[in-house]
């Protein structure tokens, strides 16, 4: 049970939602799917007196626009996993959404936008958005701006959103390569310890983006390590690259940083193998 007096706001215009967030600042929270916020408030880990609900803003759509895919902030994991547009233009996001843990309740209620804004290092979403070169469409009191995913995730549990701003959509350039996704978890229902999102072949810039192993997603250029078809030539060189770049591994109750650093290379390699084997 939430034990604080809470005012629920359900604006129908984005400008009104931003005005509420700007007015109340730290005393307001955005409600998307609520799968993170509501449990935190029930446990007393977060206290606010104003909840700004996004459900009436029309942010559920997934649309193709000028060769890019725009995913609304209220699109759920189930929406993403079932999207024909994403299957064609951004398969990596669809693959990751289909593997989200927590069962049908989380997949049907949780949103890509909410996960991105919480910027949990152990979440699947941040690294996938960085791998896809996604851009965050942000609305605020001063209008609309776009932020590259790599710049959006500024630290563990911290994003580039300012006071009064909300993320309305994520815009993803049409994918030209093949996608592979791999993650390691303690159990089926746990947060990932490490994730890797690979994009190779078909004209794409070969890269692996690691999640869960650092405070923010870590994108690695692997163009020198794979051939034109996406085949990894030297697994030891990939392991060395990962260890060179992963200088300050993330640690939490799931695993120490040393363990994450030890397994990151293997997870990256597996993602490349899956990308190599993927066929449209």
Beta pairing partners, 140: 143
pLDDT reading at 119 higher than 50: yes
Token code pair at residue 259: 């363990």
DSSP assigned state of 232 = B
Name residue, tokens 């060179």: 244
pLDDT reading at 132 higher than 90: yes
Token code pair at residue 24: 């109340």
Three-point CA angle 34, 120, 40, nearest 5°: 40
Binned at pLDDT 50, 70 and 90, residue 50 comes out as very high
pLDDT reading at 35 higher than 90: no
What local confidence, expressed as pLDDT, does residue 279 receive? 56
Summarised one tens digit per residue, pLDDT across range 234-246 is 999 999 999 999 9
pTM, to two decimals: 0.94
How many H helices and E strands in the chain? 11, 14
Instruction: Give which of 164, 113, 168, 129 is closest to 146, Cα–Cα.
Output: 168
Any residues with CB less than 8 A from the CB of 142 and at least 6 apart, and which? Answer: none
Summarised one tens digit per residue, pLDDT across range 143-202 is 999 999 999 999 999 999 999 999 999 999 998 889 999 999 998 788 999 999 999 987
Instruction: Give which of 158, 157, 163, 133 is closest to 146, Cα–Cα.
Output: 133
Give the rounded distance of the alpha carbon of 157 from its chain centre.
12
Q: Rounded mean pLDDT of 247-264? A: 96
Name residue, tokens 């649309």: 63
What local confidence, expressed as pLDDT, does residue 189 receive? 81
What local confidence, expressed as pLDDT, does residue 2 receive? 82
| DSSP-derived 3-state class of residue 25 | helix
| DSSP-derived 3-state class of residue 96 | helix
Summarised one tens digit per residue, pLDDT across range 100-109 is 987 888 899 9
Q: Rounded mean pLDDT of 267-279? A: 90
What local confidence, expressed as pLDDT, does residue 280 receive? 42
pLDDT reading at 1 higher than 90: no
Instruction: Give which of 44, 43, 50 is closest to 26, Cα–Cα.
Output: 50
pLDDT reading at 204 higher than 90: no
What local confidence, expressed as pLDDT, does residue 80 receive? 96
């Amino acid at each position: 049970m939430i034990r604080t007096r809470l005012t629920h706001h359900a604006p129908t215009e984005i400008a009104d939602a931003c005005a509420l967030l700007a007015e109340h600042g730290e005393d307001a929270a955005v409600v998307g799917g609520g799968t993170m916020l509501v449990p935190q408030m029930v446990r007393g880990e977060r206290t606010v007196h104003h909840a700004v609900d996004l459900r009436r803003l029309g942010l559920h759509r997934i649309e193709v626009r000028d060769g890019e895919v725009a995913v609304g902030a209220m699109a759920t994991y189930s929406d993403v996993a079932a999207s024909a547009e994403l299957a064609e233009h951004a398969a990596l996001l669809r693959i990751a959404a289909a593997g989200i843990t927590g069962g049908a309740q989380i997949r049907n209620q949780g949103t890509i936008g909410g996960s991105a804004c919480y910027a949990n290092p152990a979440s699947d979403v941040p690294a996938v958005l960085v791998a896809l070169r996604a851009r965050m469409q942000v609305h605020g009191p001063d209008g609309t701006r776009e932020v590259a995913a790599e710049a959006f995730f500024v630290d563990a549990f911290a994003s580039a959103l300012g006071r009064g701003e909300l993320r309305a959509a994520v815009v993803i350039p049409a994918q030209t390569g093949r996608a592979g996704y791999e993650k390691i978890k303690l159990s089926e229902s746990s947060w990932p310890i490490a994730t890797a999102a690979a994009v190779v072949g078909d004209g794409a810039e070969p890269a692996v983006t690691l999640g869960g192993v650092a405070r923010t997603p870590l994108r690695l250029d692997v163009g020198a390590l794979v051939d034109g078809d996406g085949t990894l030539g030297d697994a030891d060189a990939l392991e060395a690259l990962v260890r060179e770049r992963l200088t300050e591994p993330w640690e939490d109750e799931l695993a120490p940083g040393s363990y994450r650093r030890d397994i990151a290379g293997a997870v990256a390699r597996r993602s490349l193998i899956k990308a190599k084997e993927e066929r449209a």
